[in-house]
Every structure is written in C-alpha cells, then in structure tokens.
Amino acid sequence: MTLDFGTTLGGAWFPTPIFTASGCASSGKELSQFFPLREIGAVVTKSIMLKPRAGRPTPRMAETPSGMLNSIGLQGPGIDAFLIEDIPWLASQGARIIVSIAGETAEEYAVLSRKLRGVSGISALEVNISCPNVENRGLVFACDPTSASEVIKSVRSIIGGDLPILAKLTPDVTNIVNIATAVMTSGADGLALINTVLGMVINTETMRPHLGGITGGLSGPAIRPIAVRAIYQVRQALPNVSILGMGGVTSGKDALELILAGASGVSIGTASFGDPSAVIRIQRELHQILQDKGFNSVREAVGHAHRD
C-alpha cells in the first residue's frame, strides 16, 4: 500500500507534511538552489510587517549548546515590496505559500490582512503573535489570552472565510492551553507551535551581553522537548485543533515525534542553516519512517502518542 503523504492544516490541503519554518528561509530563494520548492508542503515566509524594518542591532546570532539564539527583530522589506517581489516569485516556482504576518497593534494585523486578502497563490496565513525580539515584552500578544484574541479577531474580521488562519504561539507562558483556547475561540483555524524560547548569552571576554538586542530566541534541538510538550498538551486539551509543529527538528525521526504528539505538519528551521538540503532530506526520511512503521497515511500518525 502506498503511503498517503498529504495533510491538512486549518482546512488547507498540502501534498506533504514538511514545511519551511518562518524566518529561516526568508522567501525561499536561497533554498531553491538545493531543491524545488514545489516538492515540499509549503514555504512559510519570514514574518512580514507593514513597513520596511531594519531590525535589531548586531550581533544578532549566537551559537549555544544544541541550538542558537537569534535577535533579528523583524527585519524585512514591508508588505508592499513583499507582495510585488516575493509572492509572484514563489508562485512562479509552483510553491504553496503560507504568509506569516506580524504587527505592533491589532489594527496593524488588520491592515496587513486587508492587503493580503484576495492575493492569489496563498494557502494560509500564519499570524505571528509571539516574536520574542521586541523592545517591550508587553507587546508579545501571545503571552496574554485577551491580547492574543484581539489580534486573531481583527484578522478574522478582515479575512472572513477566505484563508485559514494559524496563530503562532510562544511556549514562554505558564499555561499554553489557555492561550491556544483563547485564539481558537476567537477565530483561528489552527496553531503554529512553537516560536523560539527567550534566552540570553553573556560573552565572558567582554563580560557583556553577546547579542545587540541583549535577549534572543533560542531554537534548534535544545528546544525540541519543549515543542513536543507544548504540542502534546494542546492536542490533549483540544483534540480537533490542527497544529503546524516546529522546534529543533533535524531528522525524519524528529519530525515523526512532533506528529505523534499531535502536529499535522512540521516546519524545519534551524537545521537548514547547517544543511540547506535539510528540508527535503527530512521529508524523505519521514516518508520512509512512516512506511516502515506501517502507517497508511500521515493522518493516522497524527496524535498517535495519545492513543491507549
């Protein structure tokens, strides 16, 4: 029997369950030298804001045990340039596209949604409400159920039923299920779990913080158990919610772990920095491991760890 490798996220269908992770492949141009983007589930673009943005001061990266810190600070060209350059280029590659958006206010998310509504070639929106690299932690909407809900409601009110909305959450909260429940009851169609974990490195030579932005988001294998835990907890509490999982996946076996916890799709981020073919390699490995374990479809494996 051949494996059904297709998956759905928030009602949108994708031919494979492997995606890029927002922020780790910009709009995919560099990765397209290593594999055809149309062969993966979708490209999830770097979170885009309304205006062009320079981001945080350098240095913006630090290597850490089994991972790395980033402090990019939402650098990007702004939505207008993105719509002119990136979307048509991705569409020309035959790639499916999940557009990630970020804003400083619920109104900004609404304006972004207005600009994206009706643009052809977009499969879903990832609403990033959990960027760790902002000046004020009070601006991390996903740390508070009321603020998180406000953003999702404002996006939904503009998008209507046109596109699935995935809310991207942070694990840096006391109870992620509370936040997940709040965004799902406010109109999200699914969740992206997890964003990076807030961390910090001090350079012992200079005896000062290493990153220009002082703190940064920790990614890579170091955070995989946190991702598995968050996905598992949310799936347990909300068994019908579709989850795009990410956090330290470097192999097909790692991707399977997130799927067993409850993810219907898996994004690959930090692994691509060391190995630009990681996404397509992990996709091949996952296909093989699902077959070896006797699954007939991805769907059958999703949340399998919860079954008696």
| CB 207 to ligand RRO: min, Å | 25
Q: Please state, in angstroms and rounded to a whole number, the distance separating the CA atoms of residues 199 and 184.
A: 28
Q: Please state, in angstroms and rounded to a whole number, the distance separating the CA atoms of residues 123 and 94.
A: 12
| CB 220 to ligand RRO: min, Å | 11
Q: Is 264 a binder of ligand RRO (CB under 6 A)?
A: no
Q: Please state, in angstroms and rounded to a whole number, the distance separating the CA atoms of residues 281 and 227.
A: 21
Choose, from 72, 131, 142, 280, the residue flagged as catalytic: 131
DSSP helix/strand/coil, 183: helix
Contact pick of 102, 179, 260, 290 for ligand RRO (by CB under 6 A) = 102
Q: Which stretch binds ligand RRO (CB under 6 A): 70-78, 199-207, 240-248, 294-302?
A: 70-78
Residues 191-250 that bind ligand RRO (CB under 6 A): 195-196, 217
Number of residues that bind ligand RRO (CB under 6 A): 14
Q: Is 72 a binder of ligand RRO (CB under 6 A)?
A: yes
Q: Is 77 a binder of ligand RRO (CB under 6 A)?
A: no
Which residue of the chain is nearest ligand RRO when measured via CB? Answer: 217
Q: Please state, in angstroms and rounded to a whole number, the distance separating the CA atoms of residues 244 and 189.
A: 11
Q: Which stretch binds ligand RRO (CB under 6 A): 72-80, 86-94, 246-254, 299-307?
A: 72-80
Nearer to ligand RRO, 168 or 281 (CB): 168
- For residue 182, the surrounding DSSP H or E stretch is helix 176-185
Q: Is 44 a binder of ligand RRO (CB under 6 A)?
A: no
Contact pick of 27, 128, 250, 270 for ligand RRO (by CB under 6 A) = 128
User: Within 10 A of 75 (CB to CB), how many other CB atoms are there?
Assistant: 16
User: Within 10 A of 197 (CB to CB), how many other CB atoms are there?
Assistant: 20
Residue 143 known to be catalytic = no
Residue 33 burial (C-beta neighbours within 10 Å; 0-12, 13-18, 19+) = exposed
Beta strands 122-128; 165-169: pairing state = parallel
With beta carbons less than 8 A apart as the criterion, state whether 272 and 22 touch: no
What values do phi and psi take at 135, rounded to 5? -60, -35
What values do phi and psi take at 241, rounded to 5? -80, 135
CA 156 to mean position of chain CA atoms: 19
Contact pick of 16, 20, 27, 47 for ligand RRO (by CB under 6 A) = 47
Contact pick of 79, 110, 124, 131 for ligand RRO (by CB under 6 A) = 131
Q: Is 74 a binder of ligand RRO (CB under 6 A)?
A: yes
Q: Is 151 a binder of ligand RRO (CB under 6 A)?
A: no
- For residue 266, the surrounding DSSP H or E stretch is strand 265-268
Nearer to ligand RRO, 214 or 305 (CB): 214
What values do phi and psi take at 251, rounded to 5? -150, 170
Peptide linkage before 97 cis (omega within 30 of 0): no
What value, to the nearest 5°, has the Cα angle with vertex 192 and ends 16 and 185? 120
Q: Pattern 10-29, binding to ligand RRO, x per CB under 6 A?
A: -------------x------
Nearer to ligand RRO, 165 or 290 (CB): 165
Q: Which stretch binds ligand RRO (CB under 6 A): 9-17, 128-136, 143-151, 260-268?
A: 128-136
Residues 168-197 that bind ligand RRO (CB under 6 A): 195-196
Catalytic residues, by residue number, are 131
In the complex, which residues of this chain contact ligand RRO (CB under 6 A)? 23, 47, 70, 72-74, 102, 128, 131-133, 195-196, 217
